[in-house]
């Protein structure tokens, strides 16, 4: 008989309506499957794809503003720790409604990515066994791997979620990391829990700015870690809040909010304060007789000198160190990179075309790096060199070769680039008279300076770039046809930003470079993606810089880009047939809003809202 693993036996039983085999699943999963079964959910069917309307998402975001502010910063850090692994990080509110997501492009484009969007509800009774729903219900971190999900269509996913609790143990929100099952990373679960703990601590600092905050732990070297207890105390010694590790460390003692410092520790509040306010670490006994080290982390603003200290340093977490210099996940750009590598190996001239700001200069520099040439990368901005000096600038000149020539002469840029790369930027602007000399140089690789007699052979890799249509210029005789054919032996065309499939990656890359600690939400990226970006990546960079300057929070969301012209029709609008009917109007607005967010993609909208394409079409046409 074929030997089936525990999960396979359990799934067989689940999908065929049999009794679930005992011990084949973690109990949290088995209990959840049973509840889903009792609700009559069919594990082989598609779950109901429930999404709350946009206005409600905004309302919920406002209600959770403090949580969101801290959480988005942590999500950004988490994303940078696990990015590149086909992941999505989501923040849910206490009801399991997703408020924000940060994902890598690959996951965002997957079926799962399209169903975890702001507004989507992940309760167990709607979506079956899933980490977000279970963490909300169980008030503790949960990981659900692959086929442990109740619905078989979620079997390719792994999700880890941790609740974010306040000091009364109430769930304030949920942090979730979801990934493709193959990408499952054991350590991600720990990272999610740590991020949730960090948010909980952050909330204590945020909410207790008026009070004293002490960190304590039985081992002094743990005072700066997430295992330390965090206790906030009013100036008269009443306990205002206590984090989760603190509750565990003081288990068995009356550590409830409202109790007094003296009920928990043998040293009275007054004498402990004497030591703590001197800035030192003190050792005191709790009322159960265990010794703990304690240090003051914050003197509340009502305290003598309000010398609030920053939150304790966390154990240094790994950041990605080998990030590429620029983003090239778009298949066309990726292909170009491979082609460039081949071309420079063969020493063929490389010609790069693309609209302004698409990264031609960056690509030219990359060609030089790929060539492995030891010489310099020498750029020539052909549009900026005066026509009468062009030849002298490139090929050099002897002492006093012409009026205004430099006294000491000049070797010229072609010689400077020997054993390196000569990059003709804005190559369409090369003066016609100089085009002949350049063509000769490309054929012979020989340089003769103006006023000089000797020729010198050089070894340079030629790269050129333009955003103009050289072919048209050839047709109008503004550019020499033979030079054109010589330069574009090998041409790559960089796509406009709006056409790049790695748009989100470009946004995140720029943010990482400009403000590594500032999160940018998926919804913000979706809004940015609606703009046409005529200035391409350069324009995007400026828009992000502007938003960073104006931002009032530690993150950028769609509201940060209100000034961006998205060409978006008013998403509050409903279609003509729904407008007169209040009931159908709100559904219609929701459809139209998701339609906008999805880049006007009918199929995506239909999938997200679980509607037929015809229904979506009816509302958005
Ligand atoms: N793939 C990329 N990832 C991240 N940043 C990029 C990328 N491509 C370009 N940039 C950034 O966009 C800006 C414009 O790039 P670049 O100067 O290379 O464009 P260009 O096509 O040469 O522009 P122009 O035609 O106007 O000279 C630069 O700041 C560059 O760092």
Looking at the structure, tell me whether residues 45 and 181 fall in a common domain: yes
Ranking 343-347, 358-362, 363-367 by mean pLDDT, the lowest is: 343-347
pLDDT digits (tens, 9 = 90+) for 142-154: 999 889 999 998 8
Burial class (CB in 10 A: 0-12, 13-18, 19+), 33: buried
The atom number, within ligand 1, closest to the CA of 328 reads 1
Quick one: pLDDT band at residue 402, thresholds 50, 70, 90?
Answer: low
CA of 548 to the centre of ligand 1 (A): 20
Quick one: pLDDT band at residue 601, thresholds 50, 70, 90?
Answer: confident
Termini Cα distance of the chain: 57
- b (16+ CB within 10 A) / e for 315-334: eeeeeeeeeeebbbbbeebe
Ligand 1 near 508 CB (within 6 A): no
Element (H, E) at 463: strand 461-466
Looking at the structure, tell me whether residues 171 and 218 fall in a common domain: no
Asked whether the predicted pLDDT for residue 200 surpasses 50, the reply is: yes
Compare 72 and 181 and report the one with higher pLDDT: 72
CA of 442 to the centre of ligand 1 (A): 27
Strand partners, 114: none
Residue 479: inside a domain? yes
Ligand 1 near 492 CB (within 6 A): no
What is the rounded CA–CA span in Å between residue 464 and residue 61?
A: 49
Backbone angles phi and psi of 410, in degrees to 5 = -150, 140
**Minimal CA–CA distance to 464: which of 407, 416, 425?**
425
CA of 358 to the centre of ligand 1 (A): 5
Residue 570: inside a domain? no
Element (H, E) at 217: strand 212-217
Looking at the structure, tell me whether residues 361 and 483 fall in a common domain: yes
Looking at the structure, tell me whether residues 50 and 99 fall in a common domain: yes
> Tokens at residue 105, please?
């492009």
| Ligand 1 pocket, mutate which of 382, 536, 537, 542 (most atoms under 8 A from CB) | 537
Ligand 1 near 541 CB (within 6 A): yes
Looking at the structure, tell me whether residues 343 and 486 fall in a common domain: yes
Residue 424: inside a domain? yes
Residue 4: inside a domain? no
Q: Is residue 566 helix, strand or coil?
A: coil
Q: Is residue 512 helix, strand or coil?
A: helix
Q: Which residue range(s) make up the domain with 128?
A: 33-185
Quick one: pLDDT band at residue 380, thresholds 50, 70, 90?
Answer: very high
Residue with tokens 């990546």: 537
Confidence (pLDDT) at 151: 93
What is the rounded CA–CA span in Å between residue 526 and residue 604?
A: 13
What is the rounded CA–CA span in Å between residue 37 and residue 128?
A: 9
CATH of the domain at 375: 3.40.50.300
CA 503 to chain centre: 11
Residue 308: inside a domain? no
Residue 571: inside a domain? no
Quick one: pLDDT band at residue 573, thresholds 50, 70, 90?
Answer: low
Residue 19: inside a domain? no
Of 254, 282, 298, which marks where a domain is finished? 298
Ranking 231-245, 337-351, 595-609 by mean pLDDT, the lowest is: 595-609
Q: In what order do the strands lie in the sheet with 229-233?
A: 239-242, 229-233, 212-217, 291-298, 282-285
Ligand 1 near 468 CB (within 6 A): no
The whole-chain average pLDDT of the chain stands at 83
Pairing label, strands 229-233, 455-457: unpaired
Compare 15 and 569 and report the one with higher pLDDT: 15
> Tokens at residue 277, please?
């306010």
Looking at the structure, tell me whether residues 489 and 502 fall in a common domain: no
Quick one: pLDDT band at residue 467, thresholds 50, 70, 90?
Answer: very high
Looking at the structure, tell me whether residues 345 and 471 fall in a common domain: yes
Strand partners, 493: 353
What is the rounded CA–CA span in Å between residue 230 and residue 232?
A: 7
Looking at the structure, tell me whether residues 260 and 282 fall in a common domain: yes
Looking at the structure, tell me whether residues 470 and 352 fall in a common domain: yes
What is the rounded CA–CA span in Å between residue 205 and residue 207?
A: 6
The total number of structural domains that make up the chain: 5
CATH of the domain at 161: 3.30.450.40
Looking at the structure, tell me whether residues 347 and 447 fall in a common domain: yes
Compare 530 and 186 and report the one with higher pLDDT: 530
CA 427 to chain centre: 36
Asked whether the predicted pLDDT for residue 34 surpasses 90, the reply is: yes
Give the residue-averaged pLDDT of 467-489: 88
Looking at the structure, tell me whether residues 484 and 527 fall in a common domain: no
Asked whether the predicted pLDDT for residue 182 surpasses 80, the reply is: no
Confidence (pLDDT) at 37: 93
Of 448, 479, 494, which marks where a domain is finished? 494
What is the rounded CA–CA span in Å between residue 329 and residue 355?
A: 19
- Hey, CA dihedral for 34, 36, 42, 47, is it positive or negative? negative
CA of 363 to the centre of ligand 1 (A): 8
Residue 263: inside a domain? yes
CATH of the domain at 517: 1.10.8.60
Ligand 1 near 242 CB (within 6 A): no
CA angle 411, 413, 418 (to 5 degrees): 90
Identify the DSSP state of 418: T
Residue with tokens 């909410």: 207
Looking at the structure, tell me whether residues 172 and 65 fall in a common domain: yes
> Tokens at residue 429, please?
């602007």
Of 449, 472, 494, which marks where a domain is finished? 494
pLDDT digits (tens, 9 = 90+) for 300-313: 654 444 333 333 33
């Amino acid at each position: 008989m074929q030997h089936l693993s525990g999960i396979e036996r359990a799934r067989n039983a689940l999908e065929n309506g049999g009794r679930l085999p005992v011990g084949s699943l973690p109990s949290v999963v088995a209990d959840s499957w049973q509840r889903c079964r009792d609700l009559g959910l069919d594990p082989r069917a598609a779950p109901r794809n429930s999404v709350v309307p946009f206005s409600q998402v905004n309302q919920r975001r406002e209600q959770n503003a403090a949580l969101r502010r801290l959480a988005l910063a942590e999500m950004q850090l988490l994303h940078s720790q696990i990015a590149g692994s086909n992941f999505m990080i989501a923040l849910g509110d206490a009801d399991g409604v997703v408020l924000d997501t940060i994902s890598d492009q690959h996951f965002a484009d997957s079926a799962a990515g399209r169903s975890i969007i702001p507004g989507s509800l992940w309760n167990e009774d709607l979506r079956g066994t899933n980490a977000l729903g279970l963490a909300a219900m169980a008030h503790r971190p949960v990981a659900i791997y692959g086929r442990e999900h109740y619905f078989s269509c979620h079997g390719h996913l792994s999700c880890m979620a941790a609740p974010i609790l306040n000091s009364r143990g109430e769930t304030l929100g949920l942090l979730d990391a979801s990934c493709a099952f193959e990408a499952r990373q054991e350590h991600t679960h720990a990272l999610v829990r740590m991020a949730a703990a960090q948010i909980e601590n952050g909330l204590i600092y945020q909410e207790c700015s008026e009070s004293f905050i002490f960190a304590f732990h039985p081992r002094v070297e743990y005072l700066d870690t997430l295992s330390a207890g965090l206790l906030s105390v009013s100036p008269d010694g009443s306990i205002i809040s206590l984090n989760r590790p603190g509750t565990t460390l003081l288990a068995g003692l009356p550590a409830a909010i409202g109790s007094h410092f003296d009920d928990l520790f043998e040293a009275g509040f007054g004498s402990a304060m004497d030591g703590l306010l001197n800035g030192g670490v003190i050792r005191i006994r709790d009322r159960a007789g265990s010794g703990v080290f304690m240090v003051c982390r914050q003197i509340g603003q009502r305290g003598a000198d309000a010398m609030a200290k920053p939150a304790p340093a966390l154990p240094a977490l790994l950041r990605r160190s080998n990030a590429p210099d620029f983003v090239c996940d778009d298949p066309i750009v990726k292909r170009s990179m491979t082609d460039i590598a081949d071309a420079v190996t063969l020493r063929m001239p490389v010609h790069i075309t693309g609209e302004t700001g698409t990264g031609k200069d960056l690509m030219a520099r990359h060609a030089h790096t790929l060539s492995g040439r030891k010489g310099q990368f020498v750029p020539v901005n052909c549009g900026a060199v005066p026509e009468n000096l062009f030849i002298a600038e490139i090929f050099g000149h002897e002492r006093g070769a012409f009026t205004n020539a430099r006294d000491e002469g000049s070797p010229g840029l072609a010689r400077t680039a020997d054993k390196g790369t000569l990059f003709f930027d804005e190559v369409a602007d090369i003066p016609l008279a100089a085009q002949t000399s350049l063509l000769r140089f490309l054929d012979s690789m020989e340089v003769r300076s103006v006023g000089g007699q000797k020729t010198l052979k050089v070894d340079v890799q030629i790269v050129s770039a333009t955003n103009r249509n050289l072919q048209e210029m050839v047709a109008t005789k503004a550019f020499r046809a033979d030079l054109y054919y010589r330069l574009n032996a090998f041409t790559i065309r960089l796509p406009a930003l709006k056409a790049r499939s790695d748009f989100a990656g470009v946004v995140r890359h720029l943010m990482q470079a400009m403000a590594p600690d500032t999160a940018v939400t998926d919804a913000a990226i979706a809004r940015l993606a609606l703009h046409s970006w005529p200035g391409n990546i350069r324009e995007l960079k400026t828009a992000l810089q502007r938003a960073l300057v104006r931002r009032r929070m530690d993150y950028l969301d769609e509201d940060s880009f209100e000034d961006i012209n998205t060409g978006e029709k008013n998403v509050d609008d409903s279609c003509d047939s729904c407008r007169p009917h209040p009931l159908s109007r709100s559904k219609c607005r929701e459809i139209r809003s998701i339609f906008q967010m999805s880049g006007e993609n009918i199929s995506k909208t239909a999938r997200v809202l679980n509607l037929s394409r015809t229904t979506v079409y009816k509302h958005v046409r």
